[in-house]
Structure 1
Amino acid sequence: MKQATTRKPAAAAPRGRLSQWAAGIVLTVFGIAMVLPFVWMVLSAFKTEGEIKRIPPTLWPEAFTWDNFSRLFTEMDFGTYLSNTLLITLFSFVGLLLNAMAGFGFAKYRFKGREKLFLLVLATMMIPGQVTMIPVYLILNGAGLTNTMLGIVLPGFTSAFGIFLFRQFMSTLPEEIMEATRLDGASEYRLFAQVVLPMSKPILAVQAILTFIGGWNSFLWPLIIANDEKLYTLSVGLQLLKGQHGTNFALQMAGAAFMVLPIMVIFIFFQRQIIENYNISGIK
């Protein structure tokens, strides 16, 4: 009996390693299959139009060229689209602060109708954004804010999902620290800025990723509210590029790479911050 029990783990070990190797190989193949289109897009942005249409195709460019990216700014006015997108993203971070303040109010303050008001905020998450675009447009049109940058950024100042995330996270913050801060004579604004926000770094990092992606990819609402091309964003400009230069694949690849690469860099940076902040909060 003892020999039988000692042989089973020895026999199972090679099978376990074999299954791990098989799973690793399968995941590697699927990972390469998913990354290959992205790598193809980035490398094609540095190719000439003749090379990108060559048969058989080449993965690595024969000679790297920046002409496609320069044409985005000379022929398509991508500089204006970029400044508009950065401005919308900046105002979105102002909305991030407003969401944090609202979440803190729902989490730590007791007032009449708090639960019903929070349920009303959650109920708005069930309404698709496309349904509310027409009423919001009519309101902004009545206020004379159509075809303006303020009309583009104003509806994105608050988010029911952002308020929900901040409320859920800030509900777990210890009351003792806040009461001690109040006893030291700190105001509620100072409590929020110097105590609550530093303790909420993990959820701030998560919301910063979502806010940046949402602002950077702004497409439908700027297209609806703005009639002037000077107010268009990068996503709208990329769609215009597809319509005006539909046969120039190298230029389209450069525009797509210009849109995607900043999002990936920001996401990787903030992902690292999220892991570090969660580890620190766990140690404390």
Structure 2
Amino acid sequence: MSETMTLVTPPARRRRLSVEPAPRPRAAGQRRGIALRVLLYVVLIVAAAAMLTPFFWMIMSSLKSANEVFSVPVRWIPEVFVWQNYVDIWTRADIGTWIRNTLVLSVSVTALQVVTGSFAAYGFSRIRFAGRDALFLLYIGTIAVPWQSYMIPQFIMLSDAGIANTLWSVILLQAFGAFGVFLMKQFYETVPEELSEAARLDGVSEYGIWWRIMLPLSVPAIASLSLLTFVNTWNDYLGPLIYLRDPSLWTMQLGLNNFVSSLYDVDYGVLFAGLVISVVPIAVVFLAGQRFFVEGIATSGMKG
């Protein structure tokens, strides 16, 4: 009886019992993973330090005297912090007017690009019409055309219209952007089309769908577009240089450049104080919208 039971024992079970591997040591693999992670952190810290060093030098230079800014060897921390530089930039230059003009341009252009870009993106992503894809590719292709190739015809056109030396010239030129349309369209394509179809069945117009459904769902993309547009407009130098000739219309970039060229002996400590002031609004806007910016860039490349 026992021999029979031995013969009918399943061979698969015997194999499993005989070939079970012994637990492998994992200490070496864990040490390797920790070493790679530490190396990655070191590389990221070095890269971050390399990017932040110019900003640190700019801030420290704004607190130095004129002769100490370019001292050799480089002195990173000033011996005496010259806070008077921030007072001088307000008294010796019309920086209040520069900040006001730059804010007007940046906020106006950002608002217009969000409205026009999101509305055009809704048409390209949700409205079906003949030649839609070809028209979208043609419009997006304008991103590759450098502005220098058509800035002279634009200047002639705005001069003939009588708005060349006004803030409206810069606002109207930058009210539309192909990149904003592309970014918003990519995000709209991640929104289920069933929502639009259900709204149409309820009698909602296309304008209502865009305003009441698509815009509230696209806050991350709107934040990304707003941040990029605000920063680009705030840092723009060539556009205001061409169209804004009246000193009362100068932006921060034009004003600081004129502050350098108008002085025979430039006080670079005061100049760096103005540069620090010009960076503060961008830093505040970026820190406030950083979470939405990362989310918007990440989701705008998805299609599902």
TM-score by length of 1: 0.87
Taking the aligned partners of 1:176 and 1:30, their CA distance within structure 2 comes to 45
Instruction: Return the alpha-carbon distance in structure 2 between the equivalents of residues 214 and 71 of structure 1.
Output: 28
1:182 maps to which of 186, 193, 200: 200
Query: What is the CA-CA distance between 1:243 and the residue it aligns to?
Result: 2.1
Match of 1:262 in 2: 281
Q: Distance in 1 between matches of 2:58 and 2:297?
A: 34
Q: Is the 8 A contact 2:62 2:276 kept in 1?
A: yes
Matches within 5 A, 1:115-130: 115-130=133-148
Residue 67 of structure 1 aligns with which residue? 84
Q: Which amino acid is 2:255 matched to? A: G
Question: Which residues in structure 2 correspond to 1:1-284 (within 5 Å)?
Answer: 6-7=24-25, 9-49=26-66, 51-52=68-69, 58-62=75-79, 64-92=81-109, 93-245=111-263, 247-275=266-294
Contact 2:113 2:180 in 1 (8 A): no
SS in 2 for 1:137: helix
Q: Identify if the C-alpha distance between structure 1 residues 144 and 251 changes in structure 2 by more than 3 Å, giving closer, same or farther.
A: same
Moved over 4 A (4+): 1-5, 53-58, 61-65, 275-282
Q: Which has the larger radius of gyration?
A: 2
Q: Classify the secondary structure of the residue corresponding to 2:155.
A: helix
Deviates more, 1:134-143 or 1:257-266: 257-266
How many residues align structurally?
281
Report the CA distance shift for 1:198/1:229 in structure 2 as closer, same or farther (over 3 A).
same
* TM-score computed with the length of structure 2 as normaliser: 0.81
Shift of 1:5: 6.9
Alignment check: 8 A CA contact 1:45 1:68 kept: yes
| Bigger shift: residues 125-134 or 25-34 | 25-34
- Counterparts of 1:269 and 1:67 in 2: how far apart (Å)? 29
| Residues 82-121 of structure 1: per-residue CA shift (max 9 Å, x gap) | 1111111122122221111111111111123322321221
Give RMSD over aligned pairs. 2.9
- Cα separation, 1, equivalents of 2:203 and 2:24: 68
Q: Deviations over 1:215-255 (max 9, x none)?
A: 21121011111221111111111222232346312112112
Q: Which amino acid in structure 1 is aligned with residue 88 of structure 2?
A: R
In structure 2, the residue corresponding to 1:110 is in which secondary structure?
Answer: coil
Structure 1: which 5+ runs fail to align? none
Cα distance change on mapping 1:25 and 1:152 into 2, 3 Å: closer
Distance in 2 (CA, whole Å) between partners of 1:126 and 1:54 is 43
Distance 1:66 1:188 in 2: 56
- Structure 2 CA distance for aligned equivalents of residues 139 and 83 of structure 1: 27
Matched to 1:114, the amino acid is R
Contact 1:85 1:218 in 2 (8 A): no
Q: 1:104 touches 1:170 (CA, 8 Å); kept in 2?
A: yes
The whole-number CA distance in structure 1 between the counterparts of 2:220 and 2:21 is 52
Structure 1: distance between partners of 2:113 and 2:37: 46
- Deviation (angstroms), 1:197: 0.3
Pick closer, same or farther for the CA change 1:99–1:279 going to 2, 3 Å: closer
> Gapped runs of 5+ residues in structure 2?
1-18
Question: Could you say which structure has the higher helix fraction?
Answer: 1
How far 1:63 moved relative to its partner? 5.1
Is the 2:223–2:292 contact (alpha carbons within 8 Å) kept by the matching residues of 1? yes
Question: Which moves more between the two structures, 257-266 or 192-201?
Answer: 257-266
Q: Identify the range of structure 1 (200-209 vs 110-119) with the bigger mean alpha-carbon deviation.
A: 110-119
SS at match of 1:111: coil
Letter in 1 for 2:48: G
Change (3 A) 1:149 1:268: same
Percent identical residues: 37
Could you tell me whether the CA contact under 8 Å between 2:221 and 2:292 is conserved in 1? no
